């Protein structure tokens, strides 16, 4: 059971002060009864809250898939650069959303944005081995040496990277799947072969692939089935 004003401020763009004003104007109902107090207790699973006769869809957590464009940093705030949260509409900004994981500023593709800390922890935990798959373009041809090296694991300055899968799709393009998330990992792994990454796009988290109709800069909420695919091994 939660206070009515807290629920509405968590689920909408209204502040608690604004909720009190709505109540004074008799614009809020619970189970079709006009409410006169903001501190009444609400059963979030049973009670139906309406503002101006519009039902408030109560969600404990939000899970958004975003097709990240270049030029945005994977953070909640940044003094110099726009963040991935700047791409979201006003209806989501009242929630304490954060990116679950990161993509470099110049990397595009699938990101998960949520306010569920436990889910994010499970998704990012090394023990879970949730795979991440990328399209990559480098400045030189992909060689068999690279493919074998990725499979065996590559020594970087902060330790050995675990085995990764590199599949060649063109002369200098490929698909990389890994279960770690080290700083600039793919760029550094290719750097061991004196190759520069020109384009990098994340196309999958776990077994969930970026929808083909979700354009860069666009986002939508995950379904429960899609979230399960993220956590599948």
Secondary structure class of 49 (helix, strand, coil): strand
Query: Are 231 and 129 a contacting pair, CB within 8 Å?
Result: no
Burial class of residue 146 in the structure, from the number of CB atoms within 10 Å of its CB (0-12 exposed, 13-18 middle, 19+ buried): buried
91 contact partners, CB below 8 Å, separation of at least 6: 12, 13
Considering 47, 52, 104, 118, which one is annotated as catalytic? 104
Pairing of strands 33-34, 28-30: antiparallel
HSE, CB side, 13 Å, CA atoms: give it for residue 52: 3
How far is the C-alpha of 40 from the C-alpha of 42, rounded, in Å?
7
For residues 148 and 1, what is the distance between their CA atoms, to the nearest angstrom?
Answer: 56
Is 139 a residue of the active site?
A: no
The residues pairing with 109 across neighbouring beta strands, listed in sequence order, are 68, 202
C-alpha 195/C-alpha 138 separation (Å) is: 6
139 DSSP 8-state letter = S
What is the rounded end-to-end Cα distance, in angstroms, of the chain? 36
Closest among 81, 79, 119, 70 to 99, alpha carbons compared: 119
Active-site annotation, residues:
104
């Amino acid at each position: 059971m939660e206070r009515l004003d807290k629920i509405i401020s968590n689920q909408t763009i209204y502040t608690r002060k604004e909720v009190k004003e709505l109540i004074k104007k008799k614009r809020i109902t619970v189970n079709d009864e006009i409410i006169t107090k903001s501190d009444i207790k609400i059963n979030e699973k049973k009670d139906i809250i309406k503002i101006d006769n519009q039902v408030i869809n109560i969600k404990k957590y939000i899970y958004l898939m975003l097709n990240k464009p270049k030029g945005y940093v994977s953070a909640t705030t940044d003094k110099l650069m726009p963040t991935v949260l700047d791409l979201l509409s006003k209806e989501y900004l009242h929630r304490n959303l954060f990116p679950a994981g990161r993509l470099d500023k110049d990397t595009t593709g699938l990101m998960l944005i949520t306010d569920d800390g436990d889910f994010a922890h499970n998704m990012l935990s090394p023990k879970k081995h949730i795979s991440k798959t990328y399209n990559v373009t480098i400045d030189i041809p992909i060689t068999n040496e690279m493919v074998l090296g990725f499979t065996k694991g590559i020594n970087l300055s902060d330790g050995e990277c675990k085995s990764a899968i590199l599949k060649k799709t063109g002369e200098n393009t490929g698909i990389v799947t890994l279960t770690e998330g080290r700083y600039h990992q793919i760029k550094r792994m290719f750097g061991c072969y004196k190759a520069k990454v020109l384009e990098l796009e994340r196309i999958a988290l776990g077994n969930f692939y970026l929808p083909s109709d979700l354009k860069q800069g666009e986002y939508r909420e995950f379904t429960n089935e899609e979230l399960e695919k993220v956590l599948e091994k």
